[in-house]
Chain A
Amino acid sequence: MGQQVINGLFLGSIYALFALGYTLVFGVLDILNLAHAAVFMVATFVAVALVGHGLDILLALPLAVLFAGLLGLVLERVAFRPLRARTDSNIAGLISSLAAATIIEAVALEIWGPNITRFPFGTMPEGPASQFQLLGGTVSRLQLTIIAVAVLLFLVLTWLVKGTRLGREVRAVAESPRSARVLGVNVDRAIAAAFFISSALGGAAGVLYGLAFNSISPDMGHGVELKGLAVIVLGGMGSMPGAVLAGFALGLTEVFVVANLGGSWRDVISFAGLFLFLVLRPRGLMGAAATREA
């Protein structure tokens, strides 16, 4: 039981990080950025490459996250900004993000190949020495580190969004781009910032995921892509606290379902949940808008 709670929190923290970025862009642009999972994947490879060059993971992680954020800026410029004026921009944006995801995946496939890549041995301390007992379960240092990094990032993000001017501008744009512009907000800059933050979070989730499961391949984003979708729907599209809550809820539920029903039912829960929520409670756990135009 305690073990399962720990495993659930651990999985949930990765889902939550991934979904936070996803939902941030949705909140600001009403666009589903399907390239988010590609950023997640590529950041992981970058971290592996940096560690392979002898960097400590504590240095490689922030560098990979920075890389992911910059990639997000590029995506915004190439695949989203040109479409913003279009009336069908949410469908067009979904498709161009799909195109971007495909291109990123192609590049990763060409550079790193289709096979599974791993972090070099010893990237994180392993073995019995690095484990200890908590809540009646065994926790590894790795798991704790991941949860700690996730919580740290939540705090940084909350400060960024609530406590800084840029964050307030991003929120204003999410509320209404038109009135934000009237209020003198630099909308382009706010949207770019949202993409940077979003992609950085996606990259962080990727690196942590890679460390946790140590099975890294160009298609590793596919599974988490749809999971992330489920999380942001459950949390309420565009709601950041909702994404965190739903991320942990999904992580915990999955762990319990696997333990009690068997592994093959794990994914059924998230998609059936996603589907039922959209039909019965489209605003999710914490979202405001119901069947709004998006």
Chain B
Amino acid sequence: MEQLTDIYLTYQSTIGYIGINALLALSIYVSLSCGQLALGSAGFAAIGAYASALATMKADLPFPVALLVAALLPALVAVPLGLPVLRLKGVFLAIATIGFGEVVRLGLVNWDYVNGAQGIVAIPQKASIWMIYLAVAVTLFLLWRVRGSKWGFALEAIREDEPAARTMGIPSTQYKLAMLVLGAALAGLAGGLEAHFTFMVAPNGFGFSRVVDMLVFAVVGGAQVFWGAVAGAAFLTVLPEALRELAPLVGIEPGPLRLLVNGLVLLLVILFLPAGLVSLPRRLRERRAARKAARAPAGGAGAAA
């Protein structure tokens, strides 16, 4: 028991970040679930982080209200953003939303009221780990209930073939917009939690490489199912910690080693496990079954001869 407490204290920040990263990965996942590669989440998270920090520090609002603001403001921004942008397909949507994220980041850099590139410091530490995990749990519950429902099927249909789905009466634009808005709210919430978990926010914490991280979490975990994003975030958040221990043994600096392993994991997953790490058990089972099946007839033939 005491050991557990020790582990908890040592890795508190990692544990918190697993949850925050899970929320961010889920914010990408919800758009992927209807086939849209929307990469505005770093911008949404920045809006949520700054809005909540200003809410608690300048407006003295209670933390839950600040979190509500953190989720709602990006969601509101996502509506006028999504209406024109969701007409774009594939990588065009990705590029437009990357552009949006960069505009948000640069806007903050140029905004003196929030200290420009320095960002806001000394944010009260009000987010505790249970709050982060409560947010993750509520999100997962929501996604679990949507799966297999009328709406869940509509999302899958849009992902597989949007024009065909529309001929079944599915208003795909509304669904895509709803998922963009949900993703924005999740990212904003994660931003608000992060701001009050780490005391400080700065615009450069919400750049392009951050949204790339989120995408990588979702894809490495597996973008076919909602728990994949969480698995990916957990795996890739813990991995650097493990690698820090390992780095001296392989004789590579921890920084490059982390990048190298991240890159290799991502490459291997996209090439060999397109449904992500969560599909690994199923793939291994199928592989074993196939091997058994391949052996069986050979054995039969041998017996006949």
Residues of A near any B CB (own CB < 8 A): 30-32, 78-79, 82-83, 86, 90-92, 94-96, 98-103, 105-107, 109-110, 114, 222, 225-226, 229-230, 233, 237, 264-265, 267-268, 271-272, 274-275, 278-279, 282, 291-294
A271 to B85, CA, bound (A): 14
In the complex, what residues of A have CB within 8 A of residue B264's CB? 99, 103
In the complex, what residues of B have CB within 8 A of residue A293's CB? 89-90
B90-102 interface code vs A (CB 8 A; 1 in, 0 out):
1110111011101
A13 to B208, CA, bound (A): 24
Enumerate B45-101 residues with CB–CB distance to A below 8 Å. 84-85, 87-92, 94-96, 98-100
Q: Does any Cβ of A come within 8 Å of B219's Cβ?
A: yes
Enumerate B236-284 residues with CB–CB distance to A below 8 Å. 252-253, 255-260, 262-264, 266-267, 270-271, 274
Which of B219, B253, B266 has a CB less than 8 Å from the CB of A102? Answer: B266
Decide: B256 and A107 in contact? CB cutoff 8 A: yes
In the complex, what residues of A have CB within 8 A of residue B252's CB? 110
**Given A282-B88, A291-B88, A294-B90, do A94 and B109 touch, yes or no (CB 8 Å)?**
no
Decide: A275 and B96 in contact? CB cutoff 8 A: yes
Which of B99, B256, B263 has a CB less than 8 Å from the CB of A275? Answer: B99
Decide: A105 and B259 in contact? CB cutoff 8 A: yes
How many residues of B sit at the interface, in one of the four size bands?
A: 35 or more
In the complex, what residues of B have CB within 8 A of residue A233's CB? 95
**Given A102-B266, A278-B85, A291-B87, do A264 and B92 touch, yes or no (CB 8 Å)?**
no
In the complex, what residues of B have CB within 8 A of residue A86's CB? 274
Q: Which residue in chain A gives the minimum CB-CB distance to B100?
A: A275
In the complex, what residues of B have CB within 8 A of residue A114's CB? 255
* Cβ distance B30 to chain A, nearest Cβ, rounded Å: 15
29 A-B pairs with C-beta separation under 8 A: A31-B91, A86-B274, A91-B91, A94-B37, A94-B91, A95-B216, A99-B267, A103-B267, A105-B263, A106-B260, A106-B263, A110-B253, A110-B257, A222-B209, A229-B98, A233-B95, A264-B106, A264-B110, A264-B116, A268-B106, A271-B103, A274-B96, A274-B99, A278-B85, A291-B89, A291-B92, A292-B89, A293-B90, A294-B90
Residues of B near any A CB (own CB < 8 A): 37, 84-85, 87-92, 94-96, 98-100, 102-103, 106-107, 109-110, 116, 208-209, 212, 215-216, 219, 252-253, 255-260, 262-264, 266-267, 270-271, 274
In the complex, what residues of B have CB within 8 A of residue A226's CB? 98, 102, 208
A100 to B260, CA, bound (A): 9
Decide: B96 and A96 in contact? CB cutoff 8 A: no
* Cβ distance B98 to chain A, nearest Cβ, rounded Å: 7
* Cβ distance A77 to chain B, nearest Cβ, rounded Å: 12
Decide: B90 and A90 in contact? CB cutoff 8 A: yes
In the complex, what residues of B have CB within 8 A of residue A98's CB? 212, 215-216, 266
Decide: B262 and A102 in contact? CB cutoff 8 A: yes
Decide: A271 and B99 in contact? CB cutoff 8 A: yes
A190 to B208, CA, bound (A): 32
**Given A291-B87, A291-B88, do A95 and B270 touch, yes or no (CB 8 Å)?**
yes
Which of B106, B253, B260, B270 has a CB less than 8 Å from the CB of A92? Answer: B270
Which of A32, A103, A268 has a CB less than 8 Å from the CB of B110? Answer: A268
* Cβ distance A274 to chain B, nearest Cβ, rounded Å: 4
* Cβ distance A229 to chain B, nearest Cβ, rounded Å: 6
